[in-house]
Amino acid sequence: MLRENTLTQSIQTEALLSDKKDYNMEDLTFVLFGATGDLAKRKLFPALYNLFLEGKMPESFSVIGLGRREWSHEFFREKIAESLELYSRRDVQEELLPKFLNHFQYCALDVTNPAAYEHLHAMIRQGEETKATSGNRLFYLSVAPNFIELIAENLNRAGLNQTTGWRRLIIEKPFGTDLQTARRLNKKLSEAFDEVEIYRIDHYLGKPMVQNLASLVFANPAVGSLLDLKKISNVQITASEIVGVETRADYYDHAGAIRDMVQNHLLQLVMMTALHLPETITADEISMKKIEVIQSLRPIKQDEAYRDVIRAQYDAGEINGEPVIRYLDEPGVEENSKNDTYFAARLHIDNDAWRDIPFYIRTGKRLDKKSTRIVFEFKNPVRESLPAEETVPNLLILEINPHEGITLRLNVKDESSEFFQPAYINFTKPSDNLADAYELLLFDAMLGNATFFAHWNEVELSWQWIQPLLEAFENNQVPLHTYPAGSTGPKAADDLLKQDGFAWW
Ligand code: NAD
């Protein structure tokens, strides 16, 4: 049976490889800072491997992995193979693995040591000469955020960004810790790279459902007409997690949900949701439209933030029948920390399309379930003629993570009941073999397509919108609520929607 399975997989992979489309990819050297880290292991190597299997890597490419540890090339390749066994969505094909791993080399480099970059430069040049590649260089900084500025400066000083081919820089979140630090970081990066060469990863933009919002509306006029804005009462965006702070207290206890999730992922989802409606747009227009949306986002003043914003921290509770400690007892969290592990807010987009339709956003750790979704709630005229409890509003739910799906909630009546019952029309994509966000984003970056990356203007405007809230949190102008671990969040967040006659879905 095992042999049969292996044989089938092998045939499928052969088919995959022989089915290669010509993506017209240019050869490149992929310089990966942080190659011994968690992100590389869990996401980047598996993404590169799956792209390789799909024929979505250039004919000639070399990956130079960098880390502090002294590893040999062989040991590095063993580590990559281990990570593929653990995290690749496709099974590892023994006969193809050496071919893939041959593209990888390792170089120990302390990013704080400027002299080390000379050695790296020599290694890149030697690779480019041996493989006669055209000097295209992709630098991926998968390292702690405090190193980003320094690495860009050292790349610049040692001339690694001077090349005969193209050069691109991919960086991870967080991009700064507030408006001022984000601006400084951007200024530093722009000394070494042009804006069009900087690819800021927001992996929520790599989720297929988010990328396909445009085509969903374009290819399905029925969905487009459902989303007639005159019929929508509000939009809700949720990104909830079951996990707590885990081992990241060092970073998270200073960042909180507001910096970790809201400034980047949630505001990006607000922009992506609002820009596609009421009309469909082309990929080229996406960034421009996103900027229009974030510019139209009504500012929330620092001393008025308590009216529209809820912050909270998880208390002890229970998840899946297991007791869970409160945030303040987590290792590494400061005593009496006022950090937010939950954030909810009421937003208004002051443009013609969305002016009368509130957006509610929320995110939190240690909630009852893991889910990222966008819910459109429709107006409920039936309610005027029936007691409120007899009908529920129609909903269109776009599930982004961990499953992808579309659900429409309707009211139906059957002979067994005199009341309406909610019924669901649901399509869920099987999630076991879905391309990971990093696959889609790395592929785009290699092709030079920055559509689904966060542009500086979007990042700056997001920080600008968030800044008064950061200050309100700092000065305790917004009360810090608590919620039991395993719940749906603080009561205050429910009350926020109740004020407007709504409830969270
Ligand atoms: P990590 O701590 O696991 O890895 C850090 C890497 O940096 C290691 O390879 C380490 O060798 C290297 N490093 C540290 N100090 C160095 C030095 N002086 N010189 C050279 N290399 C040095 O971190 P991670 O989880 O892989 O995260 C990397 C980046 O990605 C961070 O910016 C993080 O915020 C971001 N990120 C991570 C995830 C995730 O799922 N892990 C998700 C989103 C964003």
Contacts of 205 (CB under 8 A, 6+ apart): 211, 268, 272, 437, 441, 452, 453, 454
pLDDT at 16: 53
Contacts of 482 (CB under 8 A, 6+ apart): 312, 313, 314, 315, 326, 490
Residue 431 to residues 205, 208, 217, 301, 436: CA-CA distances in angstroms? 17, 11, 22, 41, 10
CA 16 – CA 215 distance, rounded (Å):
25
- The pairing of strands 342-347 and 404-412 is unpaired
Q: Of all atoms in ligand 1, which is nearest to the CA of residue 40? A: 26
- 144 Cβ inside 6 Å of ligand 1: yes
What is the CA(139)–ligand 1 centre distance, in A?
14
Kindly report the CA angle at 185 between 167 and 210, in degrees rounded to 5?
Answer: 70
Contacts of 261 (CB under 8 A, 6+ apart): 239, 343, 363
Q: Of all atoms in ligand 1, which is nearest to the CA of residue 41? A: 26
CB 346 within 8 A of CB 496: yes
What is the CA(308)–ligand 1 centre distance, in A?
35
Burial readout 37-67 (b: 16 or more C-beta within 10 A, e: otherwise): bebbbebbbbbbbbbbbbbbbbebbbbbbbb
Q: Is 70 exceeded by the pLDDT of residue 263?
A: yes
- 274 Cβ inside 6 Å of ligand 1: no
Q: Tell me the per-residue pLDDT of 44-103, one tens digit each, with 9 for 90 and over.
A: 999 999 999 999 999 999 999 999 999 999 999 999 999 999 999 999 999 999 999 999
The helix/strand/coil state of 343 is strand
CA 339 – CA 360 distance, rounded (Å):
21
What is the CA(298)–ligand 1 centre distance, in A?
35
Residue 481 to residues 93, 311, 326, 505: CA-CA distances in angstroms? 51, 6, 13, 21
Q: Is 50 exceeded by the pLDDT of residue 5?
A: no
- 67 Cβ inside 6 Å of ligand 1: yes
Residues 161-179, mean pLDDT to the nearest whole number: 95
Sign of the CA dihedral with 408 first, then 410, 415, and 418 last: positive
Listed residue (233, 387, 256, 428) closest to 327, CA to CA: 256
- 142 Cβ inside 6 Å of ligand 1: yes
Name the range with the highest mean pLDDT among 11-20, 188-197, 225-234. Answer: 188-197
Residue 135 to residues 40, 55, 60, 156, 499: CA-CA distances in angstroms? 23, 21, 12, 16, 59
Q: Which residue stretches of 242-342 are H helix?
A: 249-257, 267-275, 286-296, 305-308
CA 32 – CA 303 distance, rounded (Å):
44
Stretch among 269-283, 362-376, 429-443, 485-499 having the lowest mean pLDDT: 269-283
What is the CA(34)–ligand 1 centre distance, in A?
5
- Annotated active-site residue 121? The verdict is no
For the entire predicted model, the pTM comes to 0.92
Q: Tell me the per-residue pLDDT of 274-330, one tens digit each, with 9 for 90 and over.
A: 986 656 677 678 888 999 999 999 999 999 999 999 999 999 999 999 999 999 999
Listed residue (23, 64, 20, 41) closest to 443, CA to CA: 23
Q: How many CB atoms lie within 10 A of CB 249?
A: 18
- Output 388 or 211, whichever has higher pLDDT: 211
Kindly report the CA angle at 241 between 436 and 393, in degrees rounded to 5?
Answer: 95
The helix/strand/coil state of 95 is coil
CB 159 within 8 A of CB 185: no
What residues does 423 pair with on adjacent strands?
Answer: 410
CA 168 – CA 448 distance, rounded (Å):
8
What is the CA(428)–ligand 1 centre distance, in A?
34
CB 293 within 8 A of CB 345: no
Q: Tell me the per-residue pLDDT of 37-50, one tens digit each, with 9 for 90 and over.
A: 999 999 999 999 99
Band of residue 165 on the pLDDT scale cut at 50, 70, 90: very high
Which of 265, 276, 455, 481 is flagged as catalytic?
265
- 5 Cβ inside 6 Å of ligand 1: no
Q: Whose CA is nearest to atom 12 of ligand 1?
A: 34
